[in-house]
Amino acid sequence: MDFNQNYFEIFQLPVSFELDEDQLAARHRQLQSTVHPDKFVGAPDHEKRLSLQWATQINSAYDTLRAPLPRAIYLLALKDVNIEDNPQLDPMFLMKQIELREQLEDIGEQAESAALTSLDAFKADVDARMAGLQLEFAAHYEADAGAAEQAVYKLQFINKLRQAADHLEEKLLDY
């Protein structure tokens, strides 16, 4: 397998944070149509193995590129910037995070219908922040990897917050 290809090259897409998700999905389908194990059911074992390896690699590439956060982390890795587990973050940003967390907790204590309404507004706010940080990442990625890295750490926070909001919604809707 040609391991030198990076994930963008596999899909023959430019190395960039901005990406056409429909095009990525279409190319993922095309590639799987070529390499998927279903196409190698009657093939000798060594071809089956190759097919499994390629199909797995293409799925990994697809999973990494289609969601913004893993895509951003991967883009940094291509510049040899590896994400730290306990990064230093802007105190102002952290204060805001604590505030947002508290806001979410308060929503959890409201009566169900009121909670769901507040939660919708909360999620919209979080999504807007997420979109802002994605723009920030894209703007800095080429010229200032350090600033792009900071945006990723913030995105990780916001992403977790968004998951917590989803979790609360699941609980409220009794899934």
Partner 1 sequence: MALLQITEPGQAQDPHQRKRAAGIDLGTTNSLIAGVRGGVTQTLADHDGSHLLPSVVRYTDAGAVVGLDAMNAAQEDPLNTIISVKRMMGRGIEDLKGLGAQLPYEFAETDGGMVRLQTVAGAVSPVAVSAEILKNLVQRGTESLAGELDGVVITVPAYFDDAQRQATRDAARLVGLNVLRLLNEPTAAAVAYGLDSGIEGMIAVYDLGGGTFDISLLRLNKGVFEVIATGGDSALGGDDFDRRIAEWLVEQAGYKGDLSPTQLRTLLSQARALKETLSDQERATVQVAVDDFEFSGELTRDTLNSLIAELIDQSIKACRRALRDAGETSVANVVLVGGSTRVPAVRDAVAAFFGITPLSDIDPDRVVAIGAAIQANILIGNKWEDEMLLLDVLPLSLGLETVGGLVEKIIGRNTAIPVARAREFTTYKDGQSAMLIHVVQGERELVSDCRSLARFELRGIPPMVAGAARIEVLFQVDADGLLSVSAAEATTGVKASIEVLPSYGLNEHEITDMLKASIDHARSDIDLRILTEARVDAGRVVDALESALAVDSKRLLSDADIKMLQQGVVTLQEIVKGTDPAAINEGVEMLGKASEDFAALRMDAAVREAFTGQQVKALEEDF
Residue recorded with tokens 């600033």: 147
- Shortest distance, CB of residue 96 to partner 1, whole angstroms? 27
According to CB under 8 A, which one of 38, 99, 105, 120 is a site residue for partner 1?
A: 38
Options 31-39, 103-111, 122-130, 154-162: segment touching partner 1 (CB under 8 A): 31-39
| DSSP per-residue letters across 76-114 | HHHTT-PPPSS----HHHHHHHHHHHHHHHHHHHS-HHH
- Shortest distance, CB of residue 166 to partner 1, whole angstroms? 8
Asked if 14 and 71 count as a contact pair (C-beta separation under 8 A), the reply is no
**One symbol per residue from 48 to 77: x for binding partner 1 (CB under 8 A), - otherwise; what is it?**
--xxx-xxx-xxx-xx--------------
Options 43-51, 114-122, 123-131, 147-155: segment touching partner 1 (CB under 8 A): 43-51
Residues 69-128 that bind partner 1 (CB under 8 A): none
Q: Which amino acid is at 78?
A: L
Q: Could you give the CA distance from residue 13 to residue 164 in angstroms, rounded to a whole number?
A: 33
Helix, strand or coil, per DSSP, at residue 144: coil
Q: Does 32 bind partner 1 (CB under 8 A)?
A: yes
Residue recorded with tokens 């090259």: 9
Q: Does 163 bind partner 1 (CB under 8 A)?
A: no
Q: Does 44 bind partner 1 (CB under 8 A)?
A: yes
According to CB under 8 A, which one of 18, 20, 34, 67 is a site residue for partner 1?
A: 34
Q: Could you give the CA distance from residue 11 to residue 69 in angstroms, rounded to a whole number?
A: 18
Q: At what angle do helices 21-35 and 45-66 cross, to 10 degrees?
A: 170
Residues that bind partner 1 (CB under 8 A): 1-2, 10, 12, 27, 29-39, 41-47, 50-52, 54-56, 58-60, 62-63, 170, 173-175
